[in-house]
Structure 1
């Protein structure tokens, strides 16, 4: 039992790292050389991290309650459900569909709880980019959708997420430009600005049979622009002292590459000229390599920071 109490120290943002690792393995499948092995490996590692957090929340439910009430940590709690959706895709079959449905329900509970807390004590300066995670992050359900009888639910979640992004983006930009500076402890969440457009695009292309060229071009433009901005922001973000919030760097980079690969396949189906497709493929592969470096770096920093030797040094 004493060993189990150690799980209380597992940082909740680690769910974001699980999401990044699971998604990275899946995204590498677009290179066409892994035959499902990369997806399975990513899902397995993500599953271990999720299991650690699940034990923490089951043994110490008050910690989950406290996290959900926090204006920053509460917004990243849903990454636990999002990572579970990614794992469900790797499992597949009825078990995968059941796990997907459970993760969707869990995400909606996290969303409702976070929204309730924020509505009770809303302050503009509390807003950080991770606030996109509860309402827009649900679109991961579309990227991981098992289809079939669950397709209508996936479609509803897609349009809910896109609508929330459209409503929140102007407010978030206003807050970042005109309100108080984001505290250093929350600055890693700035990287999340790269995720919503890419996630919306990836989800849209996954579940919509006949995509609108206008919406695809709009989301693609925003996605590439936001990703480029965060690439530049990394010059400062990576200089911040390490914290579990570094996990926010991972998934936004991965989903950017994933969305571009989906656009490549779409453009090929539309008969777009080969030069444009080649350029977009190069960009997708570049983003995938950048995502791999970022995820590997964050995972290494986590491993070093939470190693037994490091914990013993801090305790001393």
Structure 2
């Protein structure tokens, strides 16, 4: 019987998806939003601290599980690396490190620096690998291009958030430049796929929210790099807010989709928009941005609480780590 249980656990581990790291991205983003809200909106400090602790625990569980998969189910990991869609989720590992680095800045700068350096190097390697696969691999088709392809690019514009705080200005500009340039190129390609080709599969529809992340994170990083608000920053912020408005108005469509782990694609982009609105409020002092900051913080908190409940329910009902049907 123990052998059967062990085989069952081993089988489940083979189907443990790399996309689980999107949960860490969302939780880290929510942590950063509440840490920022403590300084900008007067939110209680304990909320950010509690979220940071929970996020670190989740990161330990998810990363530990995937390391076990790497050592015991290498063929399954290789299959994900060679999958034209799942491939883009591997940089969520390095993005998680970069976001945790930013969240840990108020707690431990040495640990933050270690995570930032590890995340930046790993993300550069992932970016080079993914772009190399896109350029040279013959299997990619237009149907494989989804908003998830932004993930390797979004990670580059995250680097300056903690990088500037640690004094690495030139390195931060290097990553920011890569992220912004390839975001514009990929945005055109993905919009072409979404508008002129077959609709995204239901499972991938939540990834449309990833459209919000590059301009929102780009705005936060750009203001850190330049030290203030200028017309370029305003453009990035306004594009991000327009995309939030566009996608939130699609709620009736999204509400009809059954729950998948891909729902976590809602989380980080909304958290990034929340942080961006707080940065804009700080830069301008305009009360409108203050109200927007409160609204987006409430929205992303509610969304992630719902995602946590639905994910826990799916785990208890044995609906995750199953073969794709």
- Distance in 2, Cα, partners of 1:178 & 1:229: 19
- Distance in 2, Cα, partners of 1:27 & 1:58: 35
Contact kept? 2:13, 2:73, Cα under 8 Å: no
- Distance in 2, Cα, partners of 1:280 & 1:210: 16
- Distance in 2, Cα, partners of 1:103 & 1:55: 20
**1:279 aligned partner:** 288
Q: Secondary structure at the match of 1:266?
A: helix
- Distance in 2, Cα, partners of 1:55 & 1:151: 36
Contact kept? 2:31, 2:103, Cα under 8 Å: no
**1:273 aligned partner:** none
Contact kept? 1:23, 1:86, Cα under 8 Å: yes
- Distance in 1, Cα, partners of 2:212 & 2:319: 33
Spell out, residue by residue over 1:228-258, the C-alpha distance to the aligned partner (whole angstroms, 9 max, x if none).
Answer: 1111223212321222211111101110111
**2:202 aligned partner:** 184
Contact kept? 1:16, 1:79, Cα under 8 Å: yes
Give the structure-1-normalised TM-score.
0.87
**1:77 aligned partner:** 90
- Distance in 2, Cα, partners of 1:156 & 1:58: 34
Shift of 1:200: 0.8
Contact kept? 2:113, 2:166, Cα under 8 Å: no
Shift of 1:146: 5.9
**1:107 aligned partner:** 123
**1:157 aligned partner:** 175
Please list, as runs of the form range in 1=range in 2, the aligned pairs for 1:1-80 lying within 5 A after superposition: 2=6, 5=10, 6-32=12-38, 33-34=44-45, 37-38=49-50, 40-48=52-60, 49-80=62-93
Spell out, residue by residue over 1:140-167, the C-alpha distance to the aligned partner (whole angstroms, 9 max, x if none).
Answer: 2222326345332112101111111122
- Distance in 1, Cα, partners of 2:213 & 2:263: 15
**2:186 aligned partner:** 168
Number of residue pairs the alignment of both structures matches: 304
Q: Structure 1, unaligned stretches of length 5 or more?
A: 269-276
Give the structure-2-normalised TM-score.
0.85
Contact kept? 2:164, 2:224, Cα under 8 Å: no
Out of 236, 255, 265, which is 2:272 matched to? Answer: 255
Q: Secondary structure at the match of 1:144?
A: helix
Shift of 1:103: 1.3
Contact kept? 1:43, 1:86, Cα under 8 Å: no
